[in-house]
Amino acid sequence: MIPPALARLSRVWFPTKKRPASGVENGHAKLIRAGFLRPSHSGIFHMLPLGRRVQTKLEELVARHMEHMLAASRVSLSAVSSQSLWDKSGRLENTASELFKFSDRKNVGYLLAPTHEEEITALVAQTAKTAKDLPLRLFQITPKYRDEFRPRHGLLRGREFVMKDLYTFDSSKESALETYDSVRLVYSQIFEEMKLPVLAAKASSGNMGGNLSHEYHLPTPLGEDHVISCDSCNYVANEEVAESVLSDQVVSDTTFRVWRGITKDRTKLVNVWYPKQTQPLDGGALREYTDLDISIAEVKSLIPDLDAGVEDALPLWSTAAAAGGTAVELVNIVDCRLPLSFSESLVGTKPTIPSWPKNLTPRNQVPVSVSVQNTNQWNKDRPLNLIRIQTGDKCPSCASGHLKAEKAMELGHTFYLGTRYSEALGATILVPNDERKAVPMQMGCYGIGISRIIGAVAELLMDEKGLNWPVAIAPYSCVIVMGAGVDEQDAVEVYRQINQIGRVQAKYLDVVLDDRQKTLPWKLMDADLAGFPIIVTLGREWLAAKRLEVQCRRLGVKQAVEITELPQIIGKLHGDL
């Protein structure tokens, strides 16, 4: 066996670039400049050695939890799936625009899988036949593919990304829900080990099916989701499912605003009426609302086929109205804070009423059906609140708490799927004592975005000087940098000492020696850019008094230490990072 060599940066391909002369640099740009990855095509990246080390550590951390804490078995399914299988589950049509589809020489349709519910269900259906074959917990960590309309923010929304996906198969709903709870617990442990302040938010299931799901969100202004959390109890939900408690009322002499939306088929114009200004019920400053405060989720609960991407709905609708042939509709949705008399004034089709868009006369006078909705059609007791939950609103779950609304990025998702896929794909088990009867298996699926965590950590923890990795996923935990005139044997001795700390304190410490032929300031700048958590320097202090300098930018530590103090100091830093 080849003995483990001393890790030397001179042997690692680590192509860093110079800092750009001007402009703000985001985490993605830093990942490229620090030599972790390079873009190859739109939304597709090559991982270079340091990026690959981060990915490997993260994959190992997640796999360890799957195997040890959940007794899940690791598989590796092919990235190629068939269109006919996806047709069976009904998702070929639903997700068509985002699938990378292709056909082979015999004209059979395939796709590059964005997720593997179909394939794994078909696989398990062939092998597990009775309740004795279950439970099954299978996971993999593999590249997935999604042809994003607008790939952006580097690893945060790429077209090829690495994901951990776990699929669970149980024989009853009770045991499937127990599985769900155990996975949730393990997810918290995974994010805790990376020391990431992730919030587990109640979520909706979207097109995955099932009715129980949670999202794991990292609060950051760069996020595209909104998470609502209480400052007093453990209520956390994503904006789509968060419940609101009305915390304000319109100020007297009310004025209102209207936002116009349109349905995907362009026949229905949606007027969303909301107050311009309100007064919080418990006093406090007046609140002013604009179109950005409208809860699109709430509007969509009334108008499911709303096209949320349209900025100027009126011309599209008037074109449809003028073309004739199809019935056009005008739907008024009124926020509960506006008085009933306001809703009443909207009924009718005369251009004088406020609901009628000014300057709009359908050319051939097509009849327009006008309606008003001012109640919540799903829950008559819940007022129709068209304004997004605001920081400071009351908590729906406890008496004293106030909500915080913040932007966040989704890093993981758990779904209880029930029989959504097992039924469609024939994954059934025979009922004990009645072998003529078969029932569908109870499933769950659980994702963690590996690539996305790398991108998110880069964005969230970076600073002016460079990246900043949590020690659990850093490319190396510690780098030893030596200045001119220092004997390399001394640096090697420090390397051995630090390695020993890991062994004695049972910590995973991977040390690397920066032996590149560059100046000390250059190497220190490079170490900061790459974001090694702990930097140990043998510089002038070493030559003068055999003292090392230990630096940790993230914790604001910079101190001179004797070599004998190293175990205690590095052990402590490692624990805090």
**Contacting residues toward Zn ion, per CB under 5 A:** 230, 232-233, 235, 395, 397-398, 401
Among all chains, which residue has been given the structure tokens 């006919």? 84
Which has the closest alpha carbon to 48: 58, 60, 33, 63? 33
HSE toward the beta carbon, residue 56, CA cutoff 13 A? 10
- Whichever of 180 and 235 has its CB closer to Zn ion, that residue is 235
- Helical spans, DSSP H, in 399-487: 420-424, 450-461
Residue 402 CB, nearest approach to Zn ion (Å):
8
Distance (Å) of CA 520 to CA 19, 146, 525:
17, 44, 9
Is there a contact between 523 and 514 (Cβ–Cβ < 8 Å)?
Answer: yes
- Whichever of 75 and 398 has its CB closer to Zn ion, that residue is 398
Tokens representing 516 are 């590149």
- Whichever of 40 and 232 has its CB closer to Zn ion, that residue is 232
Name, in order, each residue with C-beta under 8 angstroms of 267's C-beta and a sequence gap of 6 or more.
317, 320, 326, 327, 328, 329
Cα angle: 137, vertex 140, 143; to 5 degrees:
155
Residue 398 CB, nearest approach to Zn ion (Å):
3
Q: Distance between CA atoms of 463 and 553, rounded to whole angstroms?
A: 10
- Whichever of 232 and 369 has its CB closer to Zn ion, that residue is 232
- Whichever of 230 and 389 has its CB closer to Zn ion, that residue is 230
Residue 199 CB, nearest approach to Zn ion (Å):
14
Residue 217 CB, nearest approach to Zn ion (Å):
17
Cα angle: 114, vertex 120, 122; to 5 degrees:
120
Which has the closest alpha carbon to 532: 457, 467, 576? 467
- Whichever of 397 and 505 has its CB closer to Zn ion, that residue is 397
Cα angle: 525, vertex 527, 528; to 5 degrees:
65
- Whichever of 225 and 243 has its CB closer to Zn ion, that residue is 243
- Whichever of 395 and 530 has its CB closer to Zn ion, that residue is 395
Residue 143 CB, nearest approach to Zn ion (Å):
40
Tokens representing 481 are 């940098």
Residue 122: enclosing H or E segment and its boundaries? helix 117-127
Residue 242 CB, nearest approach to Zn ion (Å):
12
Q: Distance between CA atoms of 286 and 283, rounded to whole angstroms?
A: 8
DSSP, collapsed to helix, strand or coil, labels residue 86 as: helix
Characterize the bridge pairing of strands 511-514 and 212-219.
unpaired
DSSP, collapsed to helix, strand or coil, labels residue 287 as: strand
Residue 389 CB, nearest approach to Zn ion (Å):
13
- Whichever of 148 and 406 has its CB closer to Zn ion, that residue is 406
Residue 350 CB, nearest approach to Zn ion (Å):
47
Cα angle: 227, vertex 233, 239; to 5 degrees:
20
- Whichever of 392 and 567 has its CB closer to Zn ion, that residue is 392
Residue 235 CB, nearest approach to Zn ion (Å):
4
Which has the closest alpha carbon to 533: 490, 491, 453, 473? 473
Residue 211 CB, nearest approach to Zn ion (Å):
23
Q: Distance between CA atoms of 187 and 446, rounded to whole angstroms?
A: 9
Is there a contact between 388 and 293 (Cβ–Cβ < 8 Å)?
Answer: yes
Which has the closest alpha carbon to 553: 292, 576, 58? 576
- Whichever of 146 and 404 has its CB closer to Zn ion, that residue is 404
Residue 198 CB, nearest approach to Zn ion (Å):
19
Residue 245 CB, nearest approach to Zn ion (Å):
10
Distance (Å) of CA 438 to CA 124, 137, 210, 435:
15, 21, 20, 7
Enter the DSSP assignment of 249: E
- Whichever of 249 and 397 has its CB closer to Zn ion, that residue is 397
- Whichever of 119 and 393 has its CB closer to Zn ion, that residue is 393
Residue 400 CB, nearest approach to Zn ion (Å):
7
- Is the omega angle on the peptide bond into residue 135 within 30 degrees of 0, that is, cis? yes
